[in-house]
Amino acid sequence: MRASRRVRGAYLLVLIVVLMAATIATYVFGRTYRTLALQKAPFGRLAYVPSFDPIEDVSLGVPMDSGNNAPATSTKDIRAIEVFPSQVVMLAGGHAHRVIDLKRPVSTLHDLVHLVNEPSWISERSTVVTLDAAVIDHVGNTMSVAAPVTTEVVMTVRQGVFLAANQATLTLSGVYFHASDHNTPVAGSRAAQRADLGRPFILATTHSTMTITNSTFRYLGRDWNSSYGVAWSKDSSGSVSGSVFEHNFIGIYTEHSIGLRIQHNRFYYNSLYGVDPHSGSSHLLVEYNISNYNGRHGIIFSDHVTDGIVRYNVTKANGLNGIMMDEASTSNKIDHNIVSDNKSDGIVLAESDNNEVAYNTITGNRVGVHIRGETEPKNAVFRNTIANNDMAAQGSGLSGNNSYGNGGQWTARRIASVWLTALALLVALMAITRMSRRGRDRRQTRSSRRQTGLGMA
């Protein structure tokens, strides 16, 4: 009886093993997988170095990469025009070059050119202003740079040239701002960083308000503290709309900015990101923008950027992800965006919880929705259309979303192949089992006969 049980057991085992192998093979090989190797960052980036604020640098006349780790001596080549409500101070190498007392505040860049009247510092031809020094709109002052008075601002590529508001109000309207050369800022090496040392930028810092409308920004910014392109930092706010950001290091950067509105802008071919709210910024409104062909991400919220809204944007063909929430960027709503053909993933939530991802159209990316490092409260991903990505989702369920045509789809032909192979394998193994048992039985019979014969002898 035990013998017959074993016979049945052997065939049953073969059947179970083949069924199990076929099930595993169906799960693994029964679906399509387009290449899902990680799209690596197009270039490396140097580690962040704590450094002086750029306004401190020009006020002291020290190189633009100075910090406690890299003490520097001042040089007269680094110059700043500091505009206060009651006076204008011109500094060279940290020392006063001129002080101009004002009867009334300077409110436009055009007025400043004529007031200073030193073309080697700031000059104007027709409606084009050229900056050869930093212009800092200081404490309580209000300045505007606007068409038709000023239509273009050329910012010379040399150390210490930028436009900034420090506890002030700055309005930019209908103006084309660009560096004096046509080089796109780069990153990835110390040499590149040094080469970009003089690349100009625009900054609103320390409770300033900067409002930008219908302007264009090109070839600005570099990989350094607050110098990334056009930036709002230290509780500054304002808005930017109808503007174009191209070939900058980062299109828009914010740090500890609250309530900034970024609407109806275009971000193309920026080295790193199109829109990069960072470090404790909150309640941002990012809507109706197009952020395409940037080196890394189209839009990225990183490092505790919370309570923002990202909606009705288009992010396409960026070097990495379309839209990303990174490093505890929580409680943001990402909806009604079109995220397509990005080299890495569509919408990525990395170590960021409680975000709502809904009503987006996510197509042609590596992974449609990618969530990693999630804890409670969970992100909500629903009512999105996720189509034709290499894979629909990773780290996220797909229920409540419309998902089709992504990789990882079941393929009837493959499944059929798997099960036909399994059938053939089953027949082969059954035959081998039968042969093996018969061989064993023959051996045992021979051995028994020999033993019996010996016993009789």
Partner 1 sequence: MLISVLPWFLLIAYFRPLFEIIFLAVGEWWFLTRFEEDRSKFNRYIVQITTVGREVERVNEIINEIRSYPLSMPYLIWVVIEPGNVVDYPNADEVIVVPAEFESVAQYKCRALEYSRTVRGRYGYTGPDTKITFLDDDTSPTWEYLETAFAGDYDICQGLTAPRVRYGSGPFTHFLLSHIDDLRFHNCMTYCSSFQGIFNAPLFVHGEGLTITGYTENKVGWNFRIFASEDLTFGCNAAHQGLRWGWFHEYIELTSPWTWGAYFKQRRRWMWGNIHAVVNRDVLPFWPAVRIAVRYGLSLFTFVGSGVALVLTLLGKIHIPQIWFSVFWCSLIVWLLNFAMSGWVNAGRREVNQTSFDFWANRVFQTVCAVVLTPFSASFTVVALITTLYMGNPRAFEVIGKTEKTSDAESYTADTAGAPA
Instruction: State the Cα–Cα distance between residues 345 and 347, nearest whole angstrom.
Output: 6
Sign of CA dihedral 337, 341, 342, 346: positive
Angle at 200 (CA atoms; ends 45, 81), nearest 5 degrees: 140
- Cβ proximity to partner 1: between 213 and 409 the closer is 409
Which phi-psi region, left, alpha or beta, contains residue 6 (left: φ > 0; alpha: ψ -120 to 50)?
alpha
| Interacting residue with partner 1 among 6, 45, 95, 442 (CB under 8 A) | 6
Nearest-angstrom CA–CA distance, 426 and 11 = 10
Q: How far is the CB of 447 from partner 1 (least distance, A)?
A: 5
Region near partner 1 per CB under 8 A, out of 109-117, 259-267, 306-314, 435-443: 435-443
The length of the chain in residues reads: 457
Q: Is the dihedral of CA 310, 49, 58, 160 positive or negative?
A: negative
CB of residue 11 vs partner 1: minimum separation in angstroms? 9
Nearer to partner 1, 49 or 398 (CB): 398
Q: Which is nearer to partner 1, 100 or 429 (CB)?
A: 429
User: Do 422 and 22 meet the contact criterion of CB atoms below 8 Å apart?
Assistant: yes
Please, what is the minimum distance in Å from the beta carbon of residue 2 to partner 1?
Answer: 7
Minimum CB separation of residue 436 from partner 1 in Å reads 4
Binding residues for partner 1 restricted to 9-48, rule: CB under 8 A: 9-10, 13-14, 17, 20, 24, 27-29, 31, 33, 35-38
**Contact region with partner 1 (CB under 8 A), list: 107-115, 173-181, 294-302, 434-442:** 434-442
List the one residue from 316, 396, 407, 422 that touches partner 1 (CB under 8 A): 407
Instruction: Say which residue the tokens 């900056």 belong to.
Output: 131
Residue the block writes with tokens 């073309």: 119
Q: Does the footprint of partner 1 cover residue 427 (CB under 8 A)?
A: no
Q: Which of residues 203-222 bind partner 1 (CB under 8 A)?
A: none
Decide: is 333 part of the binding site for partner 1 (CB under 8 A): no
Other C-beta atoms lying within 10 Å of the C-beta of residue 457: 5
Which of these ranges, 75-83, 85-93, 289-297, 438-446, lies near partner 1 under the rule CB under 8 A?
438-446
Dihedrals phi, psi of 328, to nearest 5 degrees? 60, 35
Q: Strand (E) positions, 84-215?
A: 87-92, 95-101, 122-125, 128-131, 134-137, 142-146, 152-155, 162-166, 169-173, 176-179, 201-205, 209-213
Could you say which residues in the range 342-401 bind partner 1, by CB under 8 A?
Answer: 350, 372-373, 391, 394
- No. of H helices and E strands in the chain? 5, 37
Is residue 440 involved in binding partner 1 (CB under 8 A)? yes
Any residues with CB less than 8 A from the CB of 378 and at least 6 apart, and which? 353, 354
**Cβ proximity to partner 1, 198 vs 346, nearer residue:** 346
Name the residue nearer to partner 1 (CB basis): 36 or 387. 36
Which amino acid is it at 193? Answer: Q
Contacting residue, 101, 455, 456, 457, with partner 1 by CB under 8 A = 455
Footprint on this chain of partner 1 (rule: CB under 8 A):
2, 6-7, 9-10, 13-14, 17, 20, 24, 27-29, 31, 33, 35-38, 350, 372-373, 391, 394, 407-408, 433, 436-437, 439-440, 443-444, 447-448, 451-452, 455
